[in-house]
Amino acid sequence: MFSAMIRLARFIIALTLAHTLAFGSAWAQTPTESDLMALRFYIGEGNDQAVQSEIRRLQLSYPDWTPPDNLNEIQRDVPGRSVDKIYALIAADDFDGARAEIESTRQAYPDWFPSEELLQTLSVAEGQSRFIRAVDAADADAAIRIARANPALLRCERINNAWLLAEQYRIMGQDSSAVGVYRSILRSCTSSDDLIATLEKSAAVVDLNTLSELADLARDRAPDATEQVTIVENRLRAGLKAGPTRSTDQTVTKDKELDPTLAMVKSPRPTPRPEELDTSPTPTVQRRPSGAPAPKAPSGGASLSQAERAAARGDWNGCLAVTANGQSGAILSQRGWCALNAGRQMQALNDFQRAAKIGTSASARRDAAYGMALAMLQLNMVDQAANVAATTHFDKKQRLEIEGQILDKRGVFAFDRKDYRQAIAYFNELERLTGRMRRDLALLRGYAYLNSGQRAAAVAEFQRLHDQMATPASRRALSEALR
């Protein structure tokens, strides 16, 4: 009896164990949520090689498991509003909040992982914020470290960061590193505006050979902007007291054949000014570029037509009155020209800046930028005007005017600070570029020759001017040079 009970107990235990093993085996053939976590992560990343490796690993552990044909079915959906909230926090520069929301979403959806795009967006945005804060705090060392640790900040679409990085190197006295940044931009980016602006910025730290090298890089990257690059390069060479590296005479000749008005630029005998040595701007009526009629404003057309009539008769204040509430690019641009002619340069600059942003066509925005540059030059904001010139596709007449005024003012400024050789370089480049030299500037150039020890050149300059038209100023200058 006792032995029979033992046999029965053994049977029950064996039967129970068999059922337990069978039940466990059935469960063991299906990967758990935890088992699928890595696979879901790789699917979300789009890493096909890792996905296939993880599937093979799971099949070895669970021989009876077969992945679905559509692997996206394995992904557990996360509400779009959760992801949108993360992006919104990033846009608001709340990076800690974004990370907290990512962790909260992962806890609610254990099988969800943020995409590479989301993580990259967070990383770049946070790096950008830290970089700008370091720049604003004048912490050049920190700014450099942040930029070098975040290469994505230095892509061409974020070119301003690269320019700022070069400035930080200059602040640290590392000019060669700054040149390296400019060189990298010119080798990597393709926008002619960006390349020319970079060349302009590099002038503060390069010598003539390096300037020539960088200009060649810009021409190679943007062959359609070769002439524009060369004009800027020659202006910068003048700033380094050197002559032009190459001539654009062939291009000018071709343009003169196409446009008779440009043939008037070259004249062997400059028209004299009644007040010699007066380097203040000549009072001239500034007009919208010829051949560029004002675009029709989407609203307030009556104000635009009234403003044009007022401008045509030189009634600048009347023009300003009828455009007082103008909001369209066309009206703001017309208002800018009237303000410029009324002697209200700051108002003109503000109107042109707004018009350049909202102009309805590329030509309208370009002409507004032209007005901006003219206003800046009248306000002696020469570097700012040069930056506008470097980043705007002016037509040939506009570029000749702006580049000429920049050289004019830089030459006068150099003379005033007694940097006579640089003044001569600027004036020579101005004459080469435009084919003419105002009499007052020619007298300044003569005095720059005299003050820099080039007496023979000064005598020749003053004699030429005296032969053209004898005046008390030319007699006095020639007398001083002949002593």
The 3 state secondary structure assigned to 399-447 is HHHHHHHHHHHHHHHHHHCCCHHHHHHHHHHHHHHHCCCCHHHHHHHHH
Question: Angle at Cα 135 formed by Cα 134 and Cα 137, nearest 5°?
Answer: 65
The full length of the chain comes to 483
- For 331, the 3-state DSSP assignment is helix
Q: What is the pLDDT of residue 249?
A: 40
Contact 368, 360 (CB under 8 A): no
- The pTM of the full predicted model, rounded to 2 decimals, is 0.49
d(CA 196, CA 233): 9
**214-223, long-range: CB within 8 Å, 24+ apart, which pairs?**
214/182, 214/183, 214/186, 215/245, 217/183, 217/186, 217/187, 218/186, 218/192, 221/186, 221/187, 221/189, 221/190, 221/195, 222/190, 222/191, 222/192, 222/195
Contact 214, 183 (CB under 8 A): yes
Residues whose CB is less than 8 angstroms from the CB of residue 76 and which lie 6 or more positions away in sequence, other chains included: 40, 109, 111, 112
CA-wise closest residue to 265 among 126, 134, 432: 432
Contact 98, 86 (CB under 8 A): yes
Count CB atoms within 10 A of the CB of residue 305. Answer: 15
d(CA 78, CA 53): 25
Count CB atoms within 10 A of the CB of residue 261. Answer: 10
Count CB atoms within 10 A of the CB of residue 91. Answer: 11
d(CA 20, CA 31): 19
CA distances from residue 148 to 82, 95, 119, 194 in whole angstroms, order as listed:
32, 20, 19, 21
pLDDT in tens, the chain (483 residues): 445 444 544 544 444 444 444 444 434 467 776 677 677 667 766 778 888 888 888 888 888 888 877 776 665 556 667 888 888 898 888 999 999 998 888 888 776 778 777 888 888 899 899 999 999 899 998 999 898 888 888 888 888 899 999 999 999 899 988 998 998 899 888 888 888 889 988 888 888 889 999 999 999 888 888 888 898 888 888 887 665 655 444 333 333 322 222 222 222 222 222 233 333 333 345 555 544 444 444 444 447 888 888 888 888 888 888 888 888 888 898 988 998 888 888 888 989 999 998 888 888 899 999 999 999 998 888 888 888 888 888 888 898 899 999 999 999 999 998 999 989 988 998 888 888 888 889 999 999 999 999 999 998 998 888 888 888 888 888 888 887
Give the amino acid at 294.
Answer: A
d(CA 436, CA 427): 10
For the record, the structure tokens of 277 come out as 């040595």
d(CA 36, CA 58): 8
CA-wise closest residue to 264 among 445, 394, 397, 374: 397
Tens-place pLDDT, residues 434-467: 888 888 899 999 999 999 999 999 989 988 888 8
Of all residues in the chain, what percent carry a pLDDT higher than 70?
Answer: 78
